[in-house]
Structure 1
Amino acid sequence: MSITQQYVLDTYRARQLGEPAPPAPGTQDWQVVREWRDHRQFRAVVAGRPARGRMRQALGRWLHVRPRSTG
């Protein structure tokens, strides 16, 4: 049975039972990759290695408060 056939079967079963449909295959792949990379970077920071990429940008935004304009 292919992934698509399994998805159609799961969607049919969910509809029969009144449950929400499962996500389509492949819709969350990139989110999983991003979360895995962020977790790896977090573990690196905890271990004392420098942060890079999205983690560093997030930390930079959090630590560097911009002065408010009074205009």
Structure 2
Amino acid sequence: MHGGGMNALHQHLLDSYRAARNGEPAPPVPGAQDVAALRAARDHRRFEAVLAGRPATGRLRLALRRWLRPGAC
């Protein structure tokens, strides 16, 4: 290994090794909860939009439609 520190994969392998030696469950693979985190962020944005009185969904699609076809909306 070169002079840098550990990356996420190295840390995961070390944590998995330690967990196996101690009879504990292995930690989740790096990135395993990325999709869940993105969905939670999206849901939070939608919730905030509703509280602010804005449409909760379709904002990106509407913005793209306005940009691609300015006279259509």
TM-score (norm 1): 0.64
Q: Which runs of at least 4 in structure 1 moved beyond 4 Å after TM superposition?
A: none
Q: Percent identity?
A: 58
Alpha-carbon shift at residue 17 of structure 1 (Å): 2.0
Aligned with 1:28 (options 29, 33, 36): 33
Deviations 1:21-63 (A, max 9, x none): 111111221221111111111111122212115xxxxxxxxxx
Q: Which residue of 2 aligns with 1:50?
A: 55
CA-atom RMSD in angstroms = 1.4
Aligned length in residues: 53
Alpha-carbon shift at residue 14 of structure 1 (Å): 1.3
Tell which has more relative contact order, 1 or 2 (C-alpha 8 A, sep 6+). Answer: 1
Note the residue ranges of structure 1 that are not aligned, 5 or more in a row: 54-71
Alpha-carbon shift at residue 19 of structure 1 (Å): 1.8
> In the alignment, residue 42 of structure 1 is paired with which amino acid?
F
